[in-house]
Amino acid sequence: MVFTVKYEEDGVFLEIDAESITRLNKDALIQHLKRKAIHAIDNDSLKNIMESGGYMRIAPPQIEKTYGEDLIVEVTGDNSKAFIRLLAPEFNGPYLKPDYVTKKLSDAGVVYGIDKEALTWIINSRDYSKPHLVARATPKQDGEDGKLIFHFSTDKKTGFPIVISGGRVDLRTLDLFVPVSKDQLLVSRTGATKGKPGTSVRGHVINQTPGKEVALPRGKNVRYDNNRNNMYASCSGLVDYVNKSINVSNVYIISGDCDTSVGNIDFNGSVLVTGSVRSGYTIKATDGINVGGSVESAQLIAGGNVEVKGGMHGSGRGSIEAGGSVSIRFVEQGAIVADGSVNVDVSMHSRIETGGSLHAVGRRGAIIGGQVAVAGDVVANYLGATSHTKTEIAVGAMPRKRTRLSVIEKELERLTAEKIKLDQLDNYLEKTRSTLNNEMWTSLYKSSEATRQINTEEIKAYTEELTILRHDMEHATSSKVHVFETAYSGSRIVIGANAIKLNDEINYTTFRYYDGEVVYGPCEKSRADVRHNLFT
């Protein structure tokens, strides 16, 4: 040791080796003197000898006391942990008893979170080299803030082509918007939690911080549930999350042309194109489509109305399909299929099918070449052309019925041919019943019977449907074709199942059905009757 305490007749003396004074642990010295219970210490003398070393009287004469094992309790500043530091006994000094250790902890204010197993181990370890953890607080659990859960992608749209199956890229379909359906869940929120308080090693409550509630964002075309925990789209369309606001729009606006910068569009709502739709692109909308410019050899497919301010240069590939009506200035080498009416100024070498009426009464109001199939009436200024262009106008039946009629007739031809082959198979089986392997004969017979039953049922169903369709076609004779100016030679008018081919020009006339044939007379309409025409 660097220091030695000696008990003499004339006092208590402290000896410190002057050469080793740099290694003196003053705190350990003072702690030793306290544990020895030396009283009436001369602090000045103690200070001098600790600074210079030597041999010096520090207290009056007294009986030496031997100290035993002891401990110091240390608590962290935040009262979260308590440690025991064991103090070694002098030779023959007594060891600690558990009750004393418990009292020391209590006197230090440590009353909570004491690890009894650790305490026993510490007492038995006699490890005086370091402090040992003996008590730990129960930490507080702060509440969690409420959270928003987005059920659609809020990532910035890349505008890049979309990757499809097999790692291939669809160069005409770009990542431009997030589609949503009506009543689709957009955002939900989880409520904040209160959390739990903790307890310090001194037994004090550690207050937790409750979580903060979060509100659903503001929005347009959205609705909330009664508890405002969920937000839904109130219409189909596209969804944007901008400036902490969620907006659903049922109109997708393309400012400019639909071209390589936009790609194909498949939208749950309406689409507005301020420019034109370039060749090779497709626009699909569950509602209407409005095009401010023209349409090239592209496809427009709408669940509602379609309006094209310009016209269509279809080049044999452009088409418009509408669940509602179609208004377009002109269509050239294109196709229009609409459940509603069609309004066009000029149709040239195009195919038009409509479940309503067709009006071609604009500045020119002409249908030149191509095929027209209309459930209602056709109203036009001109049919055909002076060059005797082949132009076919069919009215009085839904175009789909005519198509279905053709499909059924082909199916009946196929089924009849199949029935003939089944009859031939039956004849073969009848002749080979005694010579053919019984197992094979039975298998062929069962297969023939099953196929014949299906064949018979299909022939019956198709025949019944064909009868109804032919009846509808034959009696769909109320529709008419009205021509304000001229119907040219080369035009063919079909009403129901009856037709007339024009070999001469006919002016200002109405074609109608009468007594089993198509006849014509003075025009039964005037331009004033068609006030809804869009092309004046």
CA distances from 107 to 34, 95, 104, 246, 455 (A): 19, 19, 5, 61, 101
Distance of CA 425 to the CA centre of its chain: 56
With tokens 């119907």, the residue in question is 487
Strand (E) positions, 97-229?
A: 132-136, 141-142, 147-150, 161-163, 169-174, 178-180, 185-190, 195-196, 198-199, 205-206, 218-220, 222-224
Q: Which long-range contacts (CB under 8 A, 24 or more apart) does 283-286 make?
A: 283/258, 285/252, 286/236
Strand partners, 220: 247
3-state SS class at 60: coil
Which mean pLDDT values do the consecutive 10-residue runs of the chain (536 residues) have? 88 89 88 91 92 91 92 93 92 88 92 93 89 94 94 65 50 57 92 94 94 91 91 86 83 87 85 92 90 95 92 95 93 94 95 92 91 92 94 82 84 93 90 86 90 93 88 78 96 90 95 92 85 45
Give the Cα separation of 316 and 334 in Å (integer).
Answer: 6
The predicted structure's pLDDT at residue 534: 42
Identify the pLDDT of residue 176. 53
355 Ramachandran zone, left/alpha/beta (phi>0; psi -120 to 50):
alpha
> Would you give the end-to-end CA distance of the chain in angstroms?
118
Structure tokens at 274: 């301020």
List of residues 6+ apart from 434 with CB closer than 8 A: none
Largest CA distance in the chain: 156
The DSSP element (H or E) to which 410 belongs, if any, is: helix 399-431
Per-residue pLDDT, 199: 96
In the block, which residue shows the tokens 């507080």? 140
C-alpha distance from residue 518 to each of 16, 327, 396, 434, 492 (Å):
138, 29, 12, 62, 11
The CA distance from 320 to 345, in Å, is: 16
Token pair belonging to 493:
């008018």
Of 499, 529, 519, nearest to 373 by C-alpha is 499
What is the gyration radius of the CA atoms in the chain, in angstroms?
A: 50
Write down the domain spans for the chain: 3-59, 70-133, 147-249, 401-475
User: Quick check: 266 and 281 in contact, CB under 8 A?
Assistant: no
The order of strands in the sheet holding 147-150 is 147-150, 185-190, 230-233, 222-224
Residue 115, judged by CB atoms within 10 A of its CB (0-12, 13-18, 19+), counts as middle
Task: State the Cα–Cα distance between residues 248 and 258, nearest whole angstrom.
Answer: 22
